[in-house]
Amino acid sequence: MEVVCKDRLGNKVHVNRNTDDSIGDPKKLIAAETGTGWNMIILKKWYTIFKDHVALGDYEIHDVINLELYYQQG
């Protein structure tokens, strides 16, 4: 399935993952594309902040879903 992550600056990152992968897995691929540390990335949908250890399927994330991409200051 394809997950599309978009930040507030208009940058889009497309990541292909499986539903049984954890949220931390696409964060690592996004980090490789953006040059940001994976632990500094926050994925959200509305007011829900996705936790790294939970699977994509548990959050009911399906094919071609748009997630909000935020960068945490460290």
Q: Where are the domains of the chain?
A: 2-71
DSSP H helices, 1-74, are: 24-34
Q: How confident is residue 70, by pLDDT bands cut at 50, 70 and 90?
A: very high
State what percent of residues in the chain have pLDDT above 90.
39
What is the distance between the terminal CA atoms of the chain, rounded to a whole angstrom?
Answer: 31
- This prediction has a pTM of 0.84
Pick 2-71's CATH classification: 3.10.20.90, 3.30.70.120, 3.40.50.300, 3.50.50.60.
3.10.20.90
Q: How confident is residue 65, by pLDDT bands cut at 50, 70 and 90?
A: confident
As to burial, measured by CB atoms within 10 angstroms (0-12 exposed, 13-18 middle, 19+ buried), residue 3 is buried
